[in-house]
Structure 1
Amino acid sequence: MVETSRTCDIGRDASDPLSQKLIEAREIFKDELVQPVFGEDPLSVLLFTMVTRFCSGSAPQYPMKKVLLLLWKVVLLTLGGLRDLECRKNDVRESHGLPRLSEDMYTVCETMRPASPPASAADLIEHQVPRRSLRAGKRSSLDDTFDAGLSPRGDEDDDLMDGLKSNSDEDSPPTPPRPATPTVSHRMLPWKPKVRQKDLENFLDNTRQKFVGFEVKNDHNSLAGLPQPIHEGVKVLKNHLFISLSEVQIKREEEIAKNPLSKPETEVENTPPERLYHAMLSNLPQYMIALLKLLLAAAPTSKAKTESINILCDVLPDEMPTTVLQSMKLGIDVNRHKEIIVKAISGLLLLLLKHFKLNHIYQFEFTSQHLVFANCIPLVLKFFNQDIVAYVNAKNSIPALDFPENVLGEQPELTAENIESGDSQPHCWRNIFSCINLLRILNKLTKWKHSRTMMLVVFKSAPILKRALKVRHPMMQLYILKLLKMQTKYLGRQWRKSNMKTMSAIYQKVRHRLGDDWAYGNDMDARPWDFQAEECALRACVDRFNTRRYSSGGGLEPDFRPVDNNVLSLLGQKIELSPEFTHNYERWLHMEVFSHQLDWDQVMMR
């Protein structure tokens, strides 16, 4: 129901009465999904609670694959997909007085060509056999990846609509022509360079200190005493200046913290992400830990352990297979089961991070910190520390068992040959989708965080990410190169010298930050002794935000909270009396009131 409501075609004519009814029904259904059920929690929080109970061992009978798929699709429907989020981001930026984004990451990736990975001796031998690039894959699959929706080869548990389309021509692997590009496109960089406000301030402070001998705080316009080339450099920086929505929100939080009375917080917009965050806040750390536990159990690199979480309880039969054919079928089903779990968790985490970041930066930072504390960074690296090319080429599907082939018409006889043949597609788009999501999550956790970037270096992520470049998918390569770019300054000159092909790919495909010397290693902000202080300062800001906005006292200390001095308000308060007092009330009244003579004159004088 959720997936059909999300993906059903309303029709081109919005004025058509049937289309109007479908749109109205979809909105009513979305509103019902965010309403409280069985208490005060919406359906999404109820499903999160089921995940935590399953991981704690109190409810091992839950079909966790279906729970995760439903949770992911409910969040996807109620909050919106990633393309909807990009449109909303521009509207929010305009409401804060910021210009709209000039580039669409998805459009750029559609026209980007995959880079050839750095070759080793073994790769040179294998390269003699022609390989098919992922560039020849479906165009619709890339669109589904962008929307964080279904992969083009839909899972039978995702929805029935994909199964109904499995016999159509769209499900065969077409080879669309490469998008037409201008003849000068190979000479142009794909992204417009950006400059942060902090980069401009650092440039002015350094040049003033060098040429004038003193600094001028909070002055970005005065260039007195500076040579003409510096004037031109400042002009270039200002032309590429980009102010993010996060910077505006952080600045506003600082103003509220410094002047809580003169600049109080305005009314918070009751958006779907705001309601979801508020409902998840009390148990959000436990939710993140549970999701990562399931991701670890479903990772291909994880070894089966007796004490690990049993995510196969709804897959394994009561009696183990006795024939080779049954063993092959069960093995494929188990691998497919794990792939769907990884897909659902990666899509869910990416959606939560992106929606929380747009709603408020500190909601995103709170979620990110708990993911980092739960070892999300080494877990993702462990996931990629495998033969990633074999993972994206895996064919853990049996078309003869898919819907509608399995229920309509004559059922084909299941043999070892049609089991081994697997899917007809050249690649498993489900696994490519999961890999891209995990890379994007890793980028969001580490971007502009020096302490977390150092974690990538400490866990030796560079060789793991370099091996993943063998998957020739432009979007996947883009996020791998981003992760390599942010840590090149820590890897040393010898590494950069030995990986010039990777450095060239970073220069060609990743956005440039003017003034960022990522290729040279002269980092002024990377001070190892400040890493712990960086995380602690961030945590203090996040806690102050959560306490002020979501605590009952409004974030004030008990001694400074306002006191209710209104007599009518105090007399109108409802006080819960204990059962013992209610049962013995008449006796207490007789002993404490009627049996004592009070001198009311003395009472009034006091």
Structure 2
Amino acid sequence: MQYCFSLESVEQVYVTIFPDFEYADTDTFENEIAEFYSYSEVMEFREYLELYDKEVGESWKNMDEDRRKSCVMKILNNLDLNDAAVRLNNAKIILYIAQGCWNEVDCVEEQIFWQRKNCFLLQKLGVFNAFVELFEIQSKNGNKDLYGNMQDSTGFRVIFGVMFTIIEVVREEKNSEDLEYKDDVEDFLNEIDSIGTNLITKLIVCCTSYNCYFKSEVPLKKTLLVLWKFILLFLGNTDDINKSKKMKMEENGLKYMESSEEVLEKHKYKEKILWEPKVHQEEIEKYINCSRFKYFNFTLLNDQDTLVGLPPNIIESIKTMKKHAYIPLTKIHIKEEMESTKTDLVYEAMLPHFRELTYLFSNLLKCIVTDSDVNIQNETMPVCVVMRPVYIQGFAVNIARHKEIILKAVSGLSLLLLRHFKTNHVYQFECMAMNMMMVGFINNIFMYLRNDIETLMQTNYFIKRLEFPYCIIGGPPKYDSNTTVGCSYLYYSWRNMFVCTNLLRIQNKITKNKPMRIHLLLQTGLKSLQNVLEIKNPLIELYTLKLIKMVAKYMGKKWRLSNLKTISKIYNKVRHKICDNWLYLTDFDIKNKLDKNASEFKLQQEIDKYNMQFYALGDVETSKRSLNFITKDFEKKYEEFLKTEVYENTYDWNEILGGYL
């Protein structure tokens, strides 16, 4: 059977500012679901409907709740059969139901309603767990005959389609104020607590088995999207991270300061400096010792209280600094061990795969930015293609759109993991950041930013008639000579703005307070950053100015004279520390620049020590779980254990310890 499609042209709309771009963890629910499917999959959706009609043969909307449950349970039972073809056909029927039984609806709003209703029904009946098991079977069996088209990845694509749809529906419901499915959301979150770490590990292994240059059955885009959205649901979104950070700081008696992003979001149109300045304890101590040495020619280590003899203006400045003193949560992480969390379990699962995963992210970024060949045929190349000019145009748009979505998933997932690890334990964050730096992630980010960034932000690869669910509601897309060719008049591409913002945030997190990485930034990135400033968006401008602030002191007098406008923006829009001498080199900065590798080596040793202490593998179990967790069975029998093993037995400790004394 042959299909032809109505395609709308893809145009670039040029503007100078992007004031209405609202940054968030993800795009809208409708757009996220649409981006999961490629335009080439439109031909397969009709097959799902045919299988449903053959197996069920009834209108889903006209069934009562009990009949729907019995249909789903019957299909679930067929997933346990040995015949792989039968399992796949029944999985396609489940996917059709999860998509909202689109053949029975008249509009997108009705399709979304049934999609939501059906997904919670599937979740109640254990479909998600069943598809996790199906994913494990598919991973083990594999596909030996690879054709270099979508036929290679059919099994994975259908399985991931059901999993992704349920995850997105639950995540959307969790973030909404509607209480209709509140209990179902809680049940699902409790359900994934037991399987979350194992599923994340398997998805990471699936990602790292992908090869950018050779045929593969792994649908990379879908794997990355499922991994990203599942971690977003399992560990939490930005609001959850901020709440966790605030709670931990309050528990440890630390002062919580709003981040620059939070202040910017609250005061979008205020034209004054809103940031509360920070100063670290080390900077206060350094200032006091310098003052003592200046007036009395001696210093007192670890003493910030003895101010006798110092001039009144010095004492007043010290009081001001102490008023704005800020102790970061990372200091507490280093001094004392925190309670184990879900983030610890995710870190432990990811630790053996960090290098491969970060290398994959870096390689994908490089290949897509340089327009090199990337192996995505198993998600974009149909089994049978009608080579008409209008389809060729759509195929080219599909490829470009596909690459953009991969970049979106890579940037979103990388930033999400970095933020969770930094809130949980500083060495977990530093471990991932170190791996990203070593595989060339910093340089590849600047390769992305060196493009014509303003044009890139305005280029929107988007054909609405082929977007899900518009491609299926009301029948398959058709093309005739009367079809008008139009364009989507958007001021910007939300997807590309999201990627750019994420990459700038990642660069800030990886580079901050690291002399060697700042030196890399100085060598490769300054010109790119000045180009990014052409994008008149407050958030992108903030992160770009932060990066320029890091390298400004190394640029010299000539650069400062020719970039007074940029320097003025940094003063107005970036938070400063009270003792921050960011514009001019000091003796300490010169020493750091000459000895930039030493801090990296020291940090690597601290990371290795942390990983060996809490996540080492071998005969002696030294993981955090073994140190901090007591099983429920042992807890119930604890008093009996004390009575029989401790109180009723006497030990000769001198004899036991004789060999060690």
TM-score normalised by the chain length of structure 2: 0.65
Aligned residue number for residue 4 of structure 1: 169
User: In structure 1, which of residues 500, 525, 532 is the aligned counterpart of residue 597 of structure 2?
Assistant: 532
Aligned residue number for residue 533 of structure 2: 469
* Structure-to-structure mapping, 1:398-413, within 5 angstroms: 398-409=463-474, 413=478
- Structure 1 pair 431–316 and aligned structure 2 pair: CA distance change class (3 A): same
Aligned residue number for residue 342 of structure 2: 272
Give yes or no for contact 1:328–1:419 (8 Å, CA) kept in 2. no
Aligned counterparts of 1:218 and 1:418: Cα–Cα separation in 2: 78
Amino acid across the alignment from 1:483: L
Instruction: Please state if 1:304 is matched with 2:372.
Output: yes
Deviation at 1:229, TM superposition (A): 1.3
Give yes or no for contact 1:488–1:521 (8 Å, CA) kept in 2. no
Give yes or no for contact 1:10–1:19 (8 Å, CA) kept in 2. no
Deviation at 1:291, TM superposition (A): 2.0
Aligned residue number for residue 361 of structure 2: 291
Instruction: Please state if 1:456 is matched with 2:521.
Output: yes
* Structure-to-structure mapping, 1:437-516, within 5 angstroms: 437-459=502-524, 461-516=525-580
Instruction: Please state if 1:220 is matched with 2:304.
Output: yes
Amino acid across the alignment from 2:361: L
Give yes or no for contact 1:478–1:510 (8 Å, CA) kept in 2. yes
* Structure-to-structure mapping, 1:94-243, within 5 angstroms: 94-102=250-258, 105-109=261-265, 111-112=267-268, 185-186=270-271, 188-243=272-327
Give yes or no for contact 1:194–1:512 (8 Å, CA) kept in 2. yes
The one-character-per-residue Cα deviations of 1:26-64 (angstroms, maximum 9, x if unpaired) are 3234324415xxxxxx11111111111113878722111
SS at match of 1:25: helix
Aligned counterparts of 2:572 and 2:484: Cα–Cα separation in 1: 42
- Structure 1 pair 468–84 and aligned structure 2 pair: CA distance change class (3 A): same
Count of matched residue positions in the alignment of Structure 1 and Structure 2? 457
SS at match of 1:383: helix
Amino acid across the alignment from 2:568: S
Give yes or no for contact 2:204–2:353 (8 Å, CA) kept in 1. no
- Structure 1 pair 531–554 and aligned structure 2 pair: CA distance change class (3 A): farther
User: In structure 2, which of residues 231, 234, 241 is the aligned counterpart of residue 78 of structure 1?
Assistant: 234
Deviation at 1:313, TM superposition (A): 3.5
User: In structure 1, which of residues 314, 321, 345 is the aligned counterpart of residue 410 of structure 2?
Assistant: 345
Deviation at 1:436, TM superposition (A): 0.5
Aligned counterparts of 2:417 and 2:483: Cα–Cα separation in 1: 39
- Structure 1 pair 480–197 and aligned structure 2 pair: CA distance change class (3 A): same
Which moves more between the two structures, 310-319 or 86-95?
310-319
Structure 1 segments unaligned to the other structure (5+ residues): 36-41, 113-180, 253-264, 557-567, 570-606
Aligned residue number for residue 368 of structure 1: 433
Deviation at 1:83, TM superposition (A): 1.7
Structure 2 segments unaligned to the other structure (5+ residues): 1-165, 624-643, 646-661
Aligned residue number for residue 23 of structure 1: 185
Deviation at 1:3, TM superposition (A): 1.0
- Structure 1 pair 420–45 and aligned structure 2 pair: CA distance change class (3 A): farther
- CA-based RMSD: 2.6
Amino acid across the alignment from 1:497: L
Deviation at 1:293, TM superposition (A): 1.5
- Structure 1 pair 440–10 and aligned structure 2 pair: CA distance change class (3 A): closer
User: In structure 1, which of residues 34, 52, 70 is the aligned counterpart of residue 196 of structure 2?
Assistant: 34
Instruction: Please state if 1:282 is matched with 2:438.
Output: no
User: In structure 2, which of residues 494, 503, 519 is the aligned counterpart of residue 429 of structure 1?
Assistant: 494
Q: Flag the structure with higher helix content.
A: 2
Aligned counterparts of 1:415 and 1:96: Cα–Cα separation in 2: 68
Give yes or no for contact 1:389–1:468 (8 Å, CA) kept in 2. yes
Deviation at 1:399, TM superposition (A): 0.6
Amino acid across the alignment from 1:504: S
Amino acid across the alignment from 1:531: K
The one-character-per-residue Cα deviations of 1:494-520 (angstroms, maximum 9, x if unpaired) are 111101111111111100111111123
- Structure 1 pair 421–6 and aligned structure 2 pair: CA distance change class (3 A): same
Q: Which runs of 4+ in 1 moved over 6 A?
A: 56-59, 415-420
Deviation at 1:392, TM superposition (A): 1.0
Aligned counterparts of 1:420 and 1:214: Cα–Cα separation in 2: 80
Residue identity (%): 33
SS at match of 1:395: coil
TM-score normalised by the chain length of structure 1: 0.71
Aligned counterparts of 1:408 and 1:400: Cα–Cα separation in 2: 10
Amino acid across the alignment from 1:513: K
SS at match of 2:372: coil
Aligned residue number for residue 62 of structure 1: 218
